[in-house]
A and B are shown apart, each in its own frame.
Chain A
């Protein structure tokens, strides 16, 4: 008894210490008003946000949270929405389905939100769809999976591009490069499996031959075996579907085994982490990505250019970090809800209708055209093909 209390005591101290350390990092937001702008008054418009802020998808959830906080501050400093302040209540889903459902209930039943932005992952989004449909609160997910919007659900929208669009973009690229035989190498997570399914369905339909479909575990230490097999086929390119570190190990193993065909990755590696851990081995790899990572290279008449530059600059100023795609998904989702709020005010059903009617909305992920049949609003042209040259993103020719 005594010993277990002592152990509990030690644990308690550690937990308290962690909480203190976490708490010290937070600065209270001091609104600095834009000169000449009336501060917003009256009861706030309350919207909810839930992201995987902790847990193993926190690299998605953290930039999403930072972006939502940044937008809330920005909008209120610019006078709020129709003169009223905006309040974003943020919940942590820990990247887990059960936690996400709890977070959604807290937001709807506790905070009485007008709409919810997030969650970060496909699995956690699927977990709350039934609930959101039942309580009739609009949800704009920041997750990529096709099943979120296919079939269309009345109250559910999403902002990120899907893996299907990424694969359509890759097919376009392969045809340009006259590559006809590819080997697929995907990780066995939900993301990898979905990519593998789309590759197996879309590529043969487009006249490309998939010579082999290999898999690896996201925590595997080596992919030498799968690549040795691929080396023994007639594949002209490897299409690798996974999130780091897997594809970085694939890139390194390809060098090691002398597999000299091109490596094509998914949009899941479009982050600094991949460049850092794959190092030199990443050079020459090609991937579909949103325009954010090549904002300095896109055409000057691109409709997204000024928005992307603006987002990148604000995000750097707010967090001191490089902007990334995931934060961009949250920007698009919050903006979508805010634009609807500006038009129709406090009415969930009308907000939903307004989001569905949104067309020509320029976001970080592309130019969105929502409709009753399309709750994602993007096409494959939301992606550009990017090549890694000397450890930097370069628009592929």
Chain B
């Protein structure tokens, strides 16, 4: 058994073709979820220039609300929609209660407010749902579909499909609607947008609402696999943030690309040496950022691209 570091032995094996296929399936699924969380970061970053550290808690709340609704007997689409609607409201409420009163404050102050909000939300989640993980039904049957030597769950397909549909929806919103165009205008130049009559403050609120909705959706689709737990947002939020950075913060297609890449790297890393999987994934991410400090699709540091 060859070793790959650490004081205790870590097994390192090269994957076979069949294993590689399984790793890709898992990686793409994980990556889709990371990508959707990264999109939430991107929307808020474009509207305000801040990083919303409560994004992970949006995901956790989405998961917990969806699984509670599903547990209460609501049909699955309704449970997911309820989670999305609740998170849309929560996102908007967070902006109204915590971000807007502090408008004009420095970016770092706003970021610290979002950290505070994340701790508060986590506390509320633990208070409401307790400290233990909670299960959620899959959207459809739990029997796997066999693809030759690999297997894929219907939930994996749901996740990938929903992420593609969401991207398409966001793209349409950004390119084809008045609201989307207004949001993009604010992202490019907030003052100029205000001068032509775009209510910039409302656009910020809208971006929080949309991010909440995306978080709620991401949580609902991942909970059947990962279960829902009050503190699940810490890790998922961090991974989503990394995906957004990797793709070039502020760039929506980049966020999804970054997510997919991070998911696949993590999955291959685990396949190589599971004790070092995060080290492998984040090591490669650091290397990419050394070569391209603005991320894969980022143009300038900070703001730039459109909303969707």
Which residues of A are interface residues toward B (Cβ below 8 A)? 3-4, 6-7, 10-11, 14, 18, 56, 58-59, 188, 196-197, 200, 211-217, 219-222, 224-226, 228-229, 232, 244-245, 248-249, 255-258, 273, 276-279
Interface-central residue, A200, A212, A228, A273, by most chain B CB under 10 Å: A228
Q: Which residue from A56, A219, A222, A226 sits with its C-beta under 8 Å from B225?
A: A222
Instruction: Scan B258-285; emit 1 where CB is below 8 A from any A CB, else 0.
Output: 0000000001001100110110000000
Which residues of B are interface residues toward A (Cβ below 8 A)? 1, 8-11, 13, 15-16, 19, 22-23, 25-26, 29-30, 33, 97-98, 101-103, 113, 116, 120, 123, 126-127, 131-135, 142, 144, 151, 153, 222, 225-227, 229, 231-232, 234-236, 267, 270-271, 274-275, 277-278
Complex Cα spacing A74 to B127, Å: 29
Complex Cα spacing A248 to B116, Å: 32
The distance from the CB of A90 to the nearest CB of chain B, in whole angstroms, is 18
**If A213-B10, A214-B11 touch, does A221 touch B30 (CB 8 Å cutoff)?**
yes
Q: Rank and list the top 5 A-B pairs by shortest CB-CB distance, nearest first.
A: A3-B101, A245-B133, A221-B226, A219-B235, A225-B270
The distance from the CB of B116 to the nearest CB of chain A, in whole angstroms, is 8
- Interchain CB contact under 8 A, B19 and A229: yes
- Interchain CB contact under 8 A, A224 and B278: no
A-chain residues with CB within 8 Å of residue B8 when the two chains form the complex: 196-197, 200, 213
B-chain residues with CB within 8 Å of residue A56 when the two chains form the complex: 131, 231
Complex Cα spacing A224 to B33, Å: 16
The distance from the CB of A310 to the nearest CB of chain B, in whole angstroms, is 27
- Interchain CB contact under 8 A, A228 and B19: yes
- Interchain CB contact under 8 A, A232 and B19: yes
Which residue of B is nearest A244, CB measured?
Answer: B133
Q: Which residue from A6, A196, A217, A279 sits with its C-beta under 8 Å from B135?
A: A279
Complex Cα spacing A276 to B9, Å: 34
B-chain residues with CB within 8 Å of residue A3 when the two chains form the complex: 101-103
Complex Cα spacing A350 to B278, Å: 50
Complex Cα spacing A232 to B11, Å: 13
Complex Cα spacing A220 to B234, Å: 11
- Interchain CB contact under 8 A, A59 and B274: no
Chain B at the A interface: mostly helix, strand, loop or mixed? helix
- Interchain CB contact under 8 A, A257 and B13: no
Q: Which residue from B151, B234, B235, B275 sits with its C-beta under 8 Å from A215?
A: B275
**If A222-B29, A256-B144, A256-B153 touch, does A10 touch B97 (CB 8 Å cutoff)?**
yes
**If A6-B101, A215-B274, A221-B33 touch, does A277 touch B11 (CB 8 Å cutoff)?**
no
Which residue of A is nearest B136, CB measured?
Answer: A277
- Interchain CB contact under 8 A, A277 and B135: yes
Which residue of B is nearest A245, CB measured?
Answer: B133
A-chain residues with CB within 8 Å of residue B275 when the two chains form the complex: 188, 213-215
The distance from the CB of B227 to the nearest CB of chain A, in whole angstroms, is 5
- Interchain CB contact under 8 A, A277 and B133: yes
- Interchain CB contact under 8 A, B22 and A228: yes
A-chain residues with CB within 8 Å of residue B101 when the two chains form the complex: 3-4, 6-7
Complex Cα spacing A4 to B102, Å: 7
Complex Cα spacing A3 to B267, Å: 45
Complex Cα spacing A224 to B123, Å: 31
Q: Which residue from A213, A219, A222, A273 sits with its C-beta under 8 Å from B30?
A: A222
- Interchain CB contact under 8 A, B274 and A216: yes
Which residue of A is nearest B230, CB measured?
Answer: A56
Interface-central residue, B33, B127, B131, B267, by most chain A CB under 10 Å: B131
**If A58-B131, A222-B30, A257-B22 touch, does A213 touch B9 (CB 8 Å cutoff)?**
yes
The distance from the CB of B38 to the nearest CB of chain A, in whole angstroms, is 15
- Interchain CB contact under 8 A, A273 and B133: yes
Complex Cα spacing A244 to B267, Å: 21
- Interchain CB contact under 8 A, B131 and A59: yes
B-chain residues with CB within 8 Å of residue A276 when the two chains form the complex: 134-135
- Interchain CB contact under 8 A, A214 and B274: yes
B-chain residues with CB within 8 Å of residue A221 when the two chains form the complex: 30, 33, 222, 225-226, 236
Which residue of B is nearest A54, CB measured?
Answer: B126
Interface-central residue, A11, A18, A245, A273, by most chain B CB under 10 Å: A245
Q: Which residue from B9, B102, B103, B236 sits with its C-beta under 8 Å from A200?
A: B9
- Interchain CB contact under 8 A, B151 and A217: no
Q: Which residue from A59, A213, A215 sits with its C-beta under 8 Å from B132?
A: A59
Complex Cα spacing A221 to B31, Å: 11
B-chain residues with CB within 8 Å of residue A224 when the two chains form the complex: 22, 25-26
- Can you name 29 A-B residue pairings with CB atoms under 8 Å? A7-B97, A7-B98, A11-B120, A56-B231, A200-B9, A216-B270, A217-B235, A219-B234, A221-B30, A221-B33, A222-B29, A222-B30, A224-B26, A225-B22, A229-B11, A229-B15, A229-B271, A245-B133, A245-B227, A248-B133, A248-B135, A256-B142, A257-B22, A257-B151, A276-B134, A277-B132, A277-B133, A277-B227, A279-B135
Which residue of B is nearest A18, CB measured?
Answer: B127
Complex Cα spacing A276 to B236, Å: 23
- Interchain CB contact under 8 A, A256 and B1: no
- Interchain CB contact under 8 A, B153 and A248: no
- Interchain CB contact under 8 A, B274 and A229: yes
Interface-central residue, B134, B234, B271, B277, by most chain A CB under 10 Å: B277
**If A7-B98, A10-B97, A214-B274 touch, does A258 touch B11 (CB 8 Å cutoff)?**
no
- Interchain CB contact under 8 A, B270 and A244: no
- Interchain CB contact under 8 A, A225 and B26: yes
- Interchain CB contact under 8 A, B227 and A222: no
Which residue of B is nearest A221, CB measured?
Answer: B226
- Interchain CB contact under 8 A, B102 and A7: yes
B-chain residues with CB within 8 Å of residue A219 when the two chains form the complex: 231-232, 234-236
Complex Cα spacing A216 to B133, Å: 17
The distance from the CB of B5 to the nearest CB of chain A, in whole angstroms, is 12
Complex Cα spacing A179 to B1, Å: 20
Which residue of B is nearest A199, CB measured?
Answer: B8
B-chain residues with CB within 8 Å of residue A278 when the two chains form the complex: 135
B-chain residues with CB within 8 Å of residue A255 when the two chains form the complex: 142
